Amino acid sequence: MLRFIQRNKGRLLKTKPVFQTLSRAYSAAWEDEWKQVVGDLYYHEDFNKSADQLRAIIKSEMLKFTDLRDNPERFFAAHRTLAERSTELGPGFWIRFTVQYNLFAGTILGLGGDEQLKMLETMQKKGHLGCFALTEKFAGVNSGLVVNTDIEWDNEKEVFIMNTKDESARKNWISQGFVADKAVVVANLKVQDKVVGPHAFVMDFRNESGDLVDNVTIHDMGIKSVGNDLDNAWIHFDNVELPRSAMLNRYANIDADGQYVLNVPGIRPFDVSDFLFYIHIKNLLIFEPQKSNT
């Protein structure tokens, strides 16, 4: 990853900015108001009630899905406040919060195109939740390096078709799997009989009535020793059809002729995700100690 960053950092930073180093939107007044918003949070083993608390935070728009990019000081301050209450709230809500803002929304923010970013605005207003479906059953410690969920572009239908080819490829321990309205799914993409590697796709996970979309099966991972206010599911896909717009397309896309194209030559989407993770960690390590010393 570091070799990729050194080789391509200039080209990446010339693309539309994803992170900003300074934010004028952060203030002590905002942090006081944020503390009021999260002040009534409580621990409850009913994961639906835990999820409802997060929905209320999202709809308040006190912390926007885009603040990781636009107001990083706000983003980190919000995390710090919740971390300070972790002994009261337990591990489940903290994980739920970071899955929503960091993994689900953060992936769309980093890899999505303009229309997909507009979708985040709609989700915010509705208080919709998302899950991040990366880990697979047989990946073990190689989660993210082993992706056996298949997705193929069908040029005749002009849709992607996604499949869990066997039990080993089931998405495993997916946080918010029982409450999510949408999902970001990482799957191994094939276009014109050529495998082009793992890519991220955003899909409707439930319909307006709250039911799972067709051809998706989930199952509870069971009772845990801690954090049972967080729902965890395994997910199976059986010929799930997704529109062209499902592919997070800031850096790669399917063109009008059904060909796979890189929008920034030589840079694959998941190379970029490594880079964004590096920037995120750098900001966390540099910015937070400075805040604590001021």
Q: Tell me if domain 26-128+272-292 and domain 130-271 are identical in fold.
A: no
Architecture of domain 26-128+272-292: Orthogonal Bundle (1.10)
Radius of gyration of the chain (CA): 19
Q: How far apart are CA 116 and CA 245, in angstroms?
A: 8
User: Between these two residues, 19 and 33, which has the higher pLDDT value?
Assistant: 33
Q: The whole model's pTM is what?
A: 0.85
User: What are the angstrom distances between the C-alpha of 100 and each of 103, 138, 184?
Assistant: 6, 24, 11
Query: Per the structure block, which two tokens stand in for 79?
Result: 């995390």
DSSP codes of every residue in 166-197: SGGGSEEEEETTTT-SEEEEEEEEEETTEEEE
pLDDT digits (tens, 9 = 90+) for 164-195: 999 999 999 999 999 999 999 999 999 999 99
Q: How far apart are CA 1 and CA 275, in angstroms?
A: 8
Confidence of residue 252 (pLDDT cuts 50, 70, 90): very high
Q: Are 189 and 151 in contact (CB under 8 A)?
A: yes
Query: What integer is the mean pLDDT of 270-284?
Result: 50
| Boundaries of every domain in the chain | 26-128+272-292, 130-271
Q: What residues contact 200, with CB distance under 8 A and at least 6 apart?
A: 107, 111, 184, 185, 186, 247, 248, 269, 270, 273
Instruction: Select 130-271's CATH number: 2.40.110.10, 2.70.70.10, 2.70.98.40, 1.10.533.10.
Output: 2.40.110.10
Please state, rounded to an integer, the average pLDDT across all residues of the chain: 86
Q: Are 213 and 205 in contact (CB under 8 A)?
A: yes
- In a 10 Å sphere around its CB, with 0-12 CB exposed, 13-18 middle and 19+ buried, how is residue 39 labelled? exposed
User: What does DSSP assign to residue 92?
Assistant: H
47-60 and 114-126 are packed helices; what angle lies between their axes, rounded to 10 degrees? 110
- From 51-60, 162-171, 263-272, the region with the lowest mean pLDDT: 263-272
pLDDT tops 70 at residue 11: no
